[in-house]
């Protein structure tokens, strides 16, 4: 099967366009004619097994958030789930999402439930997502569940965007600094070196710059290959479970990174807890599912230990107070929520406060890192310029 994009006109002359699955273009035209549509254009969008370098063949977090939000609106309007999937597929969804919608629609037509259908795609839908859909199907509040899931996915998308934006500018400054170093040692210093005929008579800093420049010019190909190889090795290493576990343990000990990891994991856990408690999930099951949203193995293990303590009769506040996710202030909030029976509101409050704290933290770190990198680049480039000027002055000293 392949995905085709079409443009056609209905019996009233109104223009319609969308996407559909078909064996080939003729099959697509036959299916459209069976719907009493006058076809004007049919074109192949993406084959089911085709891959492309320029087009992503993967459903992203933004795609899942779009699908969830649209399903929430359609279900709230009284549209059936299978019809809703067909409506979304007819929009300008990218090929990967359209193929996923086709698979979900086919699974529903075979008699499977929506929760079972999405569970068949674990690379796209997390266990928490599938379990909440199952809960929504059982309670009849599927549209509300989709609305809560859409809010959570939207925040996660914003969180990812803020993390990327917070490190983009410092990385740009670092790239400019490295480019300046490359330019100076490959073009400026070699031209300057021609005026120094006797290296033994020039100052030590001049000899060091010229020797460094000569080494970079001669071995820069190997240097670039070494950097690329080191980057590829690091990327491969961090894909290994042992290295990933080591880094997760180390990140909780580094002063700046520890705070960011704790904030993001607390937001994931408390946001999931608030969403599930609102949906009527029991605390024990909610903690089990919410722990699956935690990426750091050590913090996830602490939550699992807390859940086991709760199953043995310990209080929620007492169990979670031993986790690094919850400082004393948030522990006191949990105690109030446990005593009043408003845990879902407390978890939501902790999530909101943690989001604000994370935004403030990223702004402070960006404000701090930017001038430090600019200062480093200015000091390095300025140091090279001063050394070059002193070297020029030393020529007259040698002459006398």
pLDDT in tens, the chain (400 residues): 666 777 777 777 777 777 777 777 777 788 778 877 887 777 776 544 444 444 456 888 888 888 888 888 888 888 888 888 888 877 656 777 888 888 888 888 888 888 888 888 888 888 778 878 887 887 777 888 888 888 888 877 887 787 787 778 778 877 887 788 788 888 887 877 777 666 566 777 777 888 888 888 888 788 889 889 998 998 888 888 888 888 888 888 887 788 888 888 898 888 888 888 887 778 888 888 888 778 888 888 888 898 888 888 888 888 888 888 888 888 899 888 888 888 888 998 998 898 888 888 877 877 787 788 778 878 877 887 787 777 777 665 544 4
Range of the domain at 84: 61-125
Q: 112 with 257, same domain? A: no
Cβ atoms 222, 215 nearer than 8 A: no
125, 146, 168 - which closes a domain: 125
Q: 314 with 210, same domain? A: yes
Cβ atoms 78, 177 nearer than 8 A: no
Tell me which residue has tokens 């697509």: 28
148 within a domain of the structure (yes/no): no
318 within a domain of the structure (yes/no): yes
Q: 168 with 121, same domain? A: no
How many Å apart are CA 207 and CA 201, to the nearest integer? 9
Q: 109 with 244, same domain? A: no
Q: 103 with 16, same domain? A: no
Tell me which residue has tokens 């059936």: 80
Cβ atoms 108, 122 nearer than 8 A: no
Q: 32 with 98, same domain? A: no
147 within a domain of the structure (yes/no): no
143 within a domain of the structure (yes/no): no
Q: 71 with 42, same domain? A: no
Helices and strands (DSSP H and E) totals, the chain: 16, 3
104, 125, 146 - which closes a domain: 125
Q: 109 with 186, same domain? A: no
Tokens of 394: 């030393």
Tokens of 130: 């599938």
Enter the pTM of the model: 0.68
Q: 274 with 326, same domain? A: yes
Number of separate domains in the chain: 3
How many Å apart are CA 251 and CA 261, to the nearest integer? 7
Give the pLDDT confidence score for residue 49 in this predicted structure: 47
Residues written for the chain: 400
């Amino acid at each position: 099967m392949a995905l085709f994009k079409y443009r056609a006109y209905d019996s009233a002359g109104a223009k319609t366009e969308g996407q559909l699955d078909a064996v080939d273009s003729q099959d697509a035209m036959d299916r459209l004619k069976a719907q009493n549509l006058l076809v004007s254009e049919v074109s192949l969008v993406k084959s089911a097994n085709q891959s492309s370098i320029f087009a992503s063949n993967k459903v992203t977090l933004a795609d899942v958030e779009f699908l969830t939000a649209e399903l929430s609106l359609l279900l709230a309007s009284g549209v059936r789930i299978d019809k809703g999937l067909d409506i979304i597929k007819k929009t300008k969804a990218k090929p990967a999402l359209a193929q996923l919608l086709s698979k979900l629609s086919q699974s529903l037509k075979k008699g499977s439930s929506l929760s079972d259908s999405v569970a068949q795609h674990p690379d796209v839908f997390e266990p928490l997502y599938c379990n909440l859909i199952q809960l929504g199907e059982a309670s009849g509040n599927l549209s509300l569940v989709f609305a809560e899931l859409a809010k959570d996915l939207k925040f996660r998308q914003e969180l990812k965007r803020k993390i990327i934006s917070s490190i983009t500018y410092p990385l740009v400054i670092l790239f400019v600094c490295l480019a300046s170093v490359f330019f100076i040692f490959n073009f400026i210093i070699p031209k300057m070196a021609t005026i120094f005929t006797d290296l033994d008579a020039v100052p030590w800093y001049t000899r060091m710059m010229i020797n460094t420049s000569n080494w970079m010019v001669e071995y820069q190909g190997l240097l670039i290959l070494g950097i690329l190889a080191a980057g590829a090795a690091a990327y491969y290493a961090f894909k290994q479970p042992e290295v990933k576990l080591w880094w997760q343990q180390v990140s909780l000990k580094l002063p700046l990174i520890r705070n960011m990891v704790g904030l993001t994991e607390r937001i994931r856990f408390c946001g999931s807890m608030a969403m599930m408690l609102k949906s009527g999930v029991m605390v024990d099951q909610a903690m089990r599912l919410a722990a699956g949203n935690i990426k750091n193995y050590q913090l996830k293990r602490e939550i699992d230990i807390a859940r086991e303590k709760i199953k043995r009769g310990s209080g929620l506040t007492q169990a979670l107070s031993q986790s690094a996710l919850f400082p004393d202030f948030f522990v006191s909030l949990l105690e109030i929520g446990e005593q009043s029976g408003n845990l879902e509101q407390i978890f939501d409050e902790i999530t909101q406060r943690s989001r604000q704290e994370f935004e403030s933290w990223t702004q402070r770190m960006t404000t701090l890192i930017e001038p430090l990198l600019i200062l480093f680049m200015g000091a390095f480039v300025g140091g090279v310029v001063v050394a070059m000027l002193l070297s020029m002055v030393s020529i007259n000293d040698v002459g006398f």
